[in-house]
Structure 1
């Protein structure tokens, strides 16, 4: 963990994929199903792109993800992929697929017990973000689950700004694994914590974060140091 003095926050705002949720435990089989269906429906003629390409795009808006994952596809294929991705993700969550990172639930409960307000701010779809929280048993711990899919924000900076305004939050930590999370925190005057345990992005994406953590439990320890 890199050392940097943080102020005690009234709230902690979390990204979802690569921060709370170990997304590849759900997304790998979903990815293959999406492209099998697209080919069956005549919307995509190529081989399935490497799943690593999709995982490396986590944190982006969905429309930007598909441009990276299948740049040679039609608009119709990308729109259908949106629908299939959500459908297969929700089916997987209901079946019990996909897991939280180690110690996420325990640490979230500890933070909440200590009076910290908890939020999610994700560039994902509304049903997906809320579905992960609900099916993994952590939804009730949050004061708000914000997604680009629900609020149609152009960037995570805008999404976090909306969250802060809605709830009157004056001080918060922004916790995430991608450059968009660091930007969302800095763009709203928040201190930022980078999740170095996630493997979906490049380490350089967390340049500029005030603190890096290698274990989710370190969040509680950071509070103890204040």
Structure 2
């Protein structure tokens, strides 16, 4: 069975991740500073290269304010404008270049059918000049910057790209802490390129770390291998059967179910996929749920009749039904499942994904509903019906790039 990439989008930072900004920015900044200092009659030393490179990846207005706090706003703007003008002059002269392995990696991922995006704290002119001038725009389906409509920061760029791509099953790749923060603000895993432009002492913890962009495909295929390991340990029946993927909200149930179905299809099985989250009733129409009576609460939150009709529908011989199932520990749901996978994650990661999923949609009320109603009810269900006894496998999805499989005792 050929290995593929499970994520449905990859979003890249630009400077220090795809582009070798050190080839032009320090020289441009020094030239611009010399011009500005002369124009304004300043007699002062130029910052060294580490100061200029420390600005890379940040919004330039903020970076210049941090580097030159003593300057009046108008003088600082003139300095910035001169540096940007010199930067574009060098770009027009062809000084920009890509980091090693970029073309090969973009071509490989695009060939796998993975949508690629860029999120950069730059202007539209800079973005267009680099994507076009370095001839990588043919692989980048969408790009966002600080000039993009409705965008004020990198987290907003990523949120907009996810909406455009129509998926949250994505990964962010970058070299600075700000890239990681923007990824986590959207509940996404982050791949840190440690040979980029992160400054001394800038700690960037991430789901994966790579020394070069050419290492990225190998990192992304780890999830594929983990899913294959899940299926190997699950001992998937050869005949018709229903596989339920259960777990707490925001643990990654739906993405895991989607990936399980994809790998079964790649192995030649006929697969029917169901998203049981469509059976949830509108929370605005459901009374406050009592976790002390979880079975009744689940019957109010989830349309069990609709679920039963879907899960009891006959399957063709040899066909597998893979269903992402909220509140799947309910006995009436479990009874329809031949195999059960329980998805889990740390509270910190679940909270991060919750914020990422709903904050970009302006869904503060839905976040409160999950925290105050759904999670307590799910916890009550796990106490009444322990996954450790009822699931065949537990999959820790705290690191979405590299799920960890744990064998459970399984049903009797």
TM-score (norm 2): 0.50
Q: Give the aligned partner of residue 112 of structure 2.
A: 114
Q: Give the aligned partner of residue 17 of structure 2.
A: 19
Cα gap change, 1:9 to 1:43, in 2 (>3 Å): farther
Q: Give the aligned partner of residue 130 of structure 1.
A: 128
- Which ranges in structure 2 are unaligned for 5 or more consecutive residues? 225-412
Between 49-58 and 14-23, report the one with greater CA deviation.
49-58
Q: Equivalent residue of 1:148, what SS?
A: coil
1:147-199 CA-to-partner distances (Å, cap 9, x unmatched) read 01334633321221122223323211100011111111111111110001114
Offset at residue 63 of structure 1 (A): 1.4
Q: Give the aligned partner of residue 385 of structure 2.
A: none
Whichever of the two has the greater Rg, that structure is 2
Structure 1 runs (4+) greater than 6 angstroms displaced: none
Match among 81, 94, 100 for residue 102 of structure 1: 100
Q: Equivalent residue of 2:203, what SS?
A: helix
- Which ranges in structure 1 are unaligned for 5 or more consecutive residues? 1-6
Q: Give the aligned partner of residue 69 of structure 1.
A: 67
Match among 167, 170, 180 for residue 169 of structure 1: 167
Is 1:221–2:218 an aligned residue pair? yes
Q: Give distance in 1, aligned partners of 2:80 and 2:150.
A: 15
Cα gap change, 1:57 to 1:205, in 2 (>3 Å): farther
Q: Give the aligned partner of residue 271 of structure 2.
A: none
Q: Give the aligned partner of residue 184 of structure 1.
A: 182
Between 108-117 and 77-86, report the one with greater CA deviation.
77-86
Q: Conserved in 2, the CA contact under 8 Å of 1:31 and 1:51? A: no
Cα gap change, 1:44 to 1:9, in 2 (>3 Å): farther
Cα gap change, 1:43 to 1:135, in 2 (>3 Å): farther
Is 1:140–2:138 an aligned residue pair? yes
Q: Give the aligned partner of residue 157 of structure 1.
A: 155
Cα gap change, 1:181 to 1:50, in 2 (>3 Å): same
Q: Give distance in 1, aligned partners of 2:72 and 2:41.
A: 8
Q: Give distance in 1, aligned partners of 2:142 and 2:80.
A: 24
Q: Give the aligned partner of residue 27 of structure 2.
A: 29
Cα gap change, 1:35 to 1:51, in 2 (>3 Å): same
Q: Equivalent residue of 1:140, what SS?
A: coil
Offset at residue 46 of structure 1 (A): 2.2
Q: Equivalent residue of 1:60, what SS?
A: coil
Cα gap change, 1:203 to 1:40, in 2 (>3 Å): closer
Alignment length (residue pairs): 219
Q: Conserved in 1, the CA contact under 8 Å of 2:208 and 2:219? A: no
Cα gap change, 1:108 to 1:27, in 2 (>3 Å): same
Q: Give distance in 2, aligned partners of 1:8 and 1:43.
A: 57
TM-score (norm 1): 0.89
Q: Alignment RMSD, CA only?
A: 1.8
Cα gap change, 1:114 to 1:83, in 2 (>3 Å): same
